[in-house]
Each structure stands twice: as structure tokens, then as C-alpha cells.
Amino acid sequence: MCASSGIGVAIARVFAGHGAQVVALGRSEPALAKLVADTANVTAYFSGDLTRNGVPERLVGESTDALGGLDVLVNCAGVLRGATIQDTTPEIWHANFAANTTAVYAMMHSAIPHMKSGAAICNISSVNGLQAFGGTAAYCASKAATDQLTRCASVDLAPLGIRVNAVNPGVVVTELQKRGGMSDEVYDRFLERSAAVTHPLGQALGRVAQPNEVAELAAFLCSAKASFITGECVAIDGGRQNLGAR
């Protein structure tokens, strides 16, 4: 699984806590090394940029060798390069799709030959794949494409006994928005407004989602408890997609 930071780290720790043997993947070797050192059952890591040709195939091969097989794949690498449609350059468009969609396809395509009946794939998408937002045209489109890829793959892989689902978080406390260009001050205001205004459940809880909550949902979808669930894109957004524009 992709586990350099944020939701990915939480997923690695939650899966390991449930007894899974985990191999962590990502771009930041120091972060991956720390995760392996600090977390029982995270047994190995391999680093690489999933947007580069050949890297997904290499990482899947190394992971399969380390684990002796492959039962679960979690794709949670992603970027947010925001812009209105009129300001979306080809570079912004391709950056979003390379990380958020093409890398997911490449990891799935490489992993499927190593998976047997009973295996599961979980793609970490976004509420932006389910609902339109201003100023994030390429990001929304890339996440919507990932959702449709999830649904199509679920149909193709069902005869093989491989399930494919997606998790669609709303705002979660991670570094995603900061890496997309938000300052600390703007990000703090963004979290406050998300809890108070745009995420209905956040108004009662006084917060947005935590990475661990997303991780537990992914763990459920990949477990035997969800053995008859496939092709679903499950929102974990505190009701955000039901609210409408605000």
C-alpha cells in the first residue's frame, strides 16, 4: 500500500493492527523506514514514484516477493493541484491524473495477476469524485475517473473472486491541501470552516475526519466482513456530498 504520509500511514498501521502483514510503498524513504521501525507487522518498504513508467510494476513485484503473495492492494497515493477550468494548464491536468488515476490503474494492472479468489482492492478516492467543486476541475475529474475505474474493475474481476471498492473521504486532517499550495494560516481557516459549515456532522463533532477513521473503513472493505461488497464508492465525509453548494 502507498504509505508515505497522511491516510496512507494510518492505513498501514490499522491493517497491521488487525494482524495483516503489510508492505509500505511511497516516495519518501525516510518516512517509510520510520513506519517500518515503529510498527509491528509492517514488514518491509519499497520506495519509488508511482507516476514514473515501470515503477508500479517494480513495486508490486518487490512487494509480492516480500510477502510471498498478495491478498490486498490499497491505492492511496494522490495529489491536489487546484485551478479553475480556465486556468487548468496541461501540466496541472496531467499531474492530477498521473497520480490520482493512472498510478491506480498501473498498480491494479500489475497486482491482479498475483491475486487469487478472496483478494481485495481498495482505492482511496475523494468526495470530489462524487460532487463538483469550484477551483479543482482536474482533481475532481481524476477522482471521478478513479471511481469509474473502481466500478468497471469490480465487474471484470468478480468472476475471479477479487473485490474492488473505493473510499471517498471529505476533508481529512492531512498535508494534502498544504502540498497543494495552502499556507498554514489558510489551512487552519479551511479546517474550521469545513467543520462548522460544509461538513454537517462536523458541526456536532467540532472537527473533520481523522486519517484513522478512513483507514478503518478501508480495512472493513478489504476484510471478510465485506465479502459481498464490490464496486462501491463509499463516502466518509460527514454528509458533505448531501449538503449542496455553500
Query: pLDDT-derived band of residue 178, with 50, 70 and 90 as boundaries?
Result: confident
d(C-alpha 75, C-alpha 3), whole Å: 9
pLDDT at 243: 84
The values of phi and psi at residue 201, to 5°, are -70, -25
71-242 is classed CATH 3.30.200.20: no
Q: What is the mean pLDDT of residues 116-125?
A: 98
pLDDT at 187: 82
Flag whether pLDDT at 3 surpasses 80.
no
Flag whether pLDDT at 112 surpasses 90.
yes
Q: What pLDDT digit, counting tens, does each position of 132-173 carry?
A: 999 999 999 999 999 999 999 999 999 999 999 999 999 888
- List the catalytic residue out of 45, 105, 139, 187: 139
pLDDT at 4: 59
Which of 170, 174, 193 is CA-nearest to residue 239? 170
Domain ranges of the chain: 71-242
Query: pLDDT-derived band of residue 189, with 50, 70 and 90 as boundaries?
Result: confident
Q: What pLDDT digit, counting tens, does each position of 63-101 carry?
A: 999 999 999 999 998 899 999 999 999 999 999 999 999
Whether 139 is catalytic is yes
pLDDT at 55: 96
Query: pLDDT-derived band of residue 191, with 50, 70 and 90 as boundaries?
Result: confident
Q: What is the mean pLDDT of residues 4-12?
A: 85
β-bridge pairing 120-124 and 163-169: parallel
* CA distances in angstroms from 187 to 23, 168, 192, 209, listed in the order given: 31, 20, 9, 15
More confident residue, 68 or 197: 68
